[in-house]
Amino acid sequence: MKNLLTKFKYSIQADLHELFDKKVEKNPIKMLNQYIREAEKQTEETGKLLARQGQLKKELEVQFSQTIDMLEKRESQLTLAQSTEEAELIAFAQDEVAAYTTRKQALLTSIDAANNEYFALERKFETMKHKIKDMKVRQLQLMGKENVVRANYQMDKVLTTNNADNFDELSSYIDDLSQNIERKYEVTSFEARLAQLDKEQKLIEQPK
């Protein structure tokens, strides 16, 4: 039964992968856009974690600074207690110095680890941002190729044999229309000139 369920699981996964591959092949730009959106979201979340890690590192450094101050204070108090020769007071000061010394070492170790972890995360964060920029460049390249393909398809569609004949017919129609306009212009121009001559002639023939 377990083997059957395992086979069923892998069969579903294979079908999903096949479906996903078909989607990528059908619309690569859409899938790339989805990848970029997801990567940007993950990068944003990583940035928040990086900022949180930086804050934790600062808090450790604050604790370390406070511990150093208290350690120096307790060491000074231990010296003062030893001068009084009071055993209980000396024992308390010694315990305090030991506790702050231990805390100091623990904080040093934690700060060193936090620094290494922070810089490792920071490098990965920068790598993620570069990957997104690379994907966006790829996105523009694909969009350019898609645009060229579509433009060529439209132009080829327009420049087919039938459409070429239509262009020839349209060109002939435009030529005829242009010739008609030119003829009408010439007729109008001649009529204007004749009218002017007729007017001048009438002026000459008027009795003086």
pLDDT digits (tens, 9 = 90+) for 118-140: 998 889 889 888 988 888 888 88
List Cα–Cα distances, 83 to 70, 78, 94, 97, 157, in angstroms.
20, 9, 13, 16, 103
The closest alpha carbon to 57, from 154, 122, 139, belongs to 122
d(CA 24, CA 191): 71
List Cα–Cα distances, 130 to 49, 115, 124, in angstroms.
18, 23, 10
**What is the share, in percent, of the chain residues with pLDDT greater than 70?**
68
pTM: 0.52
57-71, 132-146, 159-173: range with highest mean pLDDT:
57-71
Beta strands in 48-202 (DSSP E): none
**Structure-model confidence comparison of residues 52 and 9, the more confident one:** 52
The angle subtended at Cα 34 by Cα 26 and Cα 20, nearest 5°, is 45
**pLDDT class of 20 with cuts at 50, 70, 90:** very low
